[in-house]
Structure 1
Amino acid sequence: MDIKDTDADLITHTGFHFHVRRAVPKDEAIVADFFKHVTPADVRFRFLSGMKSVSHERLVEMTSADDPKRVNFLALSSDQTLLAVAMLAVGKDPQRGEVALTIREDYKHQGISWEMLAHICRYAERHNFKSIESIESRDNHEAIELERDMAFHAHSDPDDPRIIVLRRDFQQ
């Protein structure tokens, strides 16, 4: 995936300004600090596991800039506070991606998730993705509602009734 056009200055419906850029290895410390401001439930929702903290290996993965099948996005405020982290990864089919997004607890309900996900959708569409999916816990009501509002369609996971897969298709 081309990572040249990941950057954007965005404004939410509440008037909050922030900048999105791709993560690089030197961001590991700010991403580690970010997860200190994320609820345990949101960590569970992000990784679909019961882990209590994010390991060094995960942080390295989240800040890698040289994985051709994954782009990690960071949303930063004007004072460089990390507000949200997101990942867009390609699987076996290079025209289909998976997205995951996490936001700091103290910055929720300002429209950041909406603008961040919209930015990732625009990025995916520019790069000729046919679709992107988000794999959510059925308990993650806020994410499911957001994704449905953004034209993602829900599908049950036949292998795990605790999971719902939401997919957004792009016109080619």
Structure 2
Amino acid sequence: MTPWPTELIASRHDHQLARLAAAGIALALLDAALPSPLPGIKPGLANIVTLYTLETLGWRAAMWVSLLRIAGAGLLLGSLFTPGFWLSLAGGAGSLLLLAASLLLPARGFSVVSRSLLAACGHLAGQLLLARGWLIPHDGIWLLLPPLLTAATITGLLNGLLTLTLLESATDET
């Protein structure tokens, strides 16, 4: 029997991304267990991990953590490849696109809180565009925009403040 020609060795960075993705999955599971005041409104706690990763390791790491979290949570919740999974993926993609765009703009105008607000709005936009194009092909879906945008603004603000606190406590420890 011949040995494998290459052996994959996980780097310290790989382990760090895996830990962050696991934390994101845990928060996504907690998020799914929380009661929702209205269908489709969740706090998006797992986005805290994506924002933390963006601020500490950069956009590419945040993208991997976000995608791993979405796939892992979908697998554990039994929703992998269901419409809910695709909505989550579309929301994650919208969020990541706005986060990438925010990195191209002057840093003085963007804190982790403002990036969190952008990410929340990007998440909502991605989900609504997919829902309009695939699940509910009717313009009536736009009537959901005011309450969903209000919820996205509130949760984006809270998640941004929580991420800021987490980043400040991590800085204080070093």
TM-score by length of 2: 0.30
TM (normalized to structure 1)? Answer: 0.30
Q: Which has the higher helix share?
A: 2
Larger CA Rg, structure 1 vs 2? 2
